[in-house]
Amino acid sequence: SAKEGSDFHRDVLPVLREACFRCHGEKNKGGLKLDTRDAALRGGDSEIASVVPGDPEASELMVRVRSGEEDLVMPPTGDPLTEAQIATLDAWIRGGAEWPAPPRAPETLAKTPVAGDAAFLRRVFLDTIGLPPTPDDVRAFLADPAPDKRARVIDRLLADERRVDHLMSDWLDLLAENPTLINPSLNSTGPFRWFLLDALRDRKPLDRLVTELLMMRGDAATGGSAGFALAAENDAPFAAKGHIAASAFLGIELQCARCHDSPYHSTTQRDLYSLAAMFERKEVTVPKTSRVPAGFFEKNKARKSLIQVTLRPDEPVTPTWPFARTTGAEDGAALDALLEHAEDSRERLAALVTSPENRRFPKVMVNRVWKRLLGAGIVEPAHDWEGREASHPELLDWLANELVSHGYDLDHVARLVLTSAAYQREAGDEDLAAAAAGDRFFQAPARRRLTAEQVVDSLHAAARLAIDSEELTFVHDGRHPLGRRQTLGVPRRAWMFASLNNERDRPSLALP
Q: Is residue 450 part of a domain?
A: no
DSSP 300: -
Q: Is residue 425 part of a domain?
A: no
Q: Is residue 472 part of a domain?
A: no
Question: How high is the pLDDT of residue 308?
Answer: 56
197 in Cβ contact with 143 (< 8 Å): no
114: β partners: 425
Q: Is residue 59 part of a domain?
A: yes
SS3 284: strand
Q: Is residue 80 part of a domain?
A: yes
SS3 442: coil
Burial group, residue 426, by CB count within 10 angstroms (0-12, 13-18, 19+):
middle
Question: How high is the pLDDT of residue 261?
Answer: 65
Residues 6+ apart with CB under 8 A from 324: 330, 331
| Per-residue model confidence as pLDDT tens for the chain (512 residues) | 344 446 777 788 778 877 787 777 666 777 787 777 777 888 777 778 888 888 888 888 888 888 877 777 788 877 788 888 888 888 888 888 887 766 665 555 567 789 999 999 999 999 999 999 999 999 999 999 999 999 999 999 999 988 988 898 888 888 875 444 444 444 445 677 788 888 999 999 999 999 999 999 887 767 788 878 775 545 567 888 888 999 999 999 887 766 666 666 678 888 888 898 999 999 888 776 555 554 554 555 554 555 556 666 777 888 989 998 888 888 877 777 777 888 889 999 999 999 988 989 999 999 999 999 998 899 888 888 887 888 888 899 999 999 998 999 999 999 999 999 889 998 876 544 454 444 566 778 888 888 888 888 888 888 887 665 545 444 444 444 545 444 433 333 333 334 443 444 444 444 33
Q: Is residue 461 part of a domain?
A: no
Tally Cβ neighbours within 10 Å of residue 1.
Answer: 13
Range of the domain at 316: 237-353
Report the candidate in 222, 162, 62, 16 with the shortest Cα–Cα distance to residue 508: 162
Q: Which of 66, 94, 122 lies at the terminal end of a domain, its last residue?
A: 94
Number of domains the chain contains = 2
425: β partners: 114
Q: Which of 353, 377, 411 lies at the terminal end of a domain, its last residue?
A: 353
- How many degrees, rounded to 5, is the angle at CA 249 between CA 246 and CA 252? 40
In order of 16, 52, 80, the CA distances from 40 in angstroms are: 11, 9, 20
Question: How high is the pLDDT of residue 396?
Answer: 92
Question: How high is the pLDDT of residue 351?
Answer: 93
Report the candidate in 166, 155, 182 with the shortest Cα–Cα distance to residue 467: 166
Question: How high is the pLDDT of residue 199?
Answer: 92
Q: Which of 324, 353, 382 lies at the terminal end of a domain, its last residue?
A: 353
Burial group, residue 264, by CB count within 10 angstroms (0-12, 13-18, 19+):
exposed
Give the predicted TM-score (pTM) of the model.
Answer: 0.74
Residues 6+ apart with CB under 8 A from 510: 495, 499, 503, 504
Long-range (24+ apart) CB contacts under 8 A made by 156-159 are: 157/124, 157/125, 157/128, 157/129, 158/128, 158/411, 158/414, 158/415, 158/418
Q: Is residue 343 part of a domain?
A: yes
Tally Cβ neighbours within 10 Å of residue 36.
Answer: 14
Question: How high is the pLDDT of residue 190?
Answer: 64
223: β partners: 219
Q: Is residue 216 part of a domain?
A: no
Question: How high is the pLDDT of residue 500?
Answer: 40
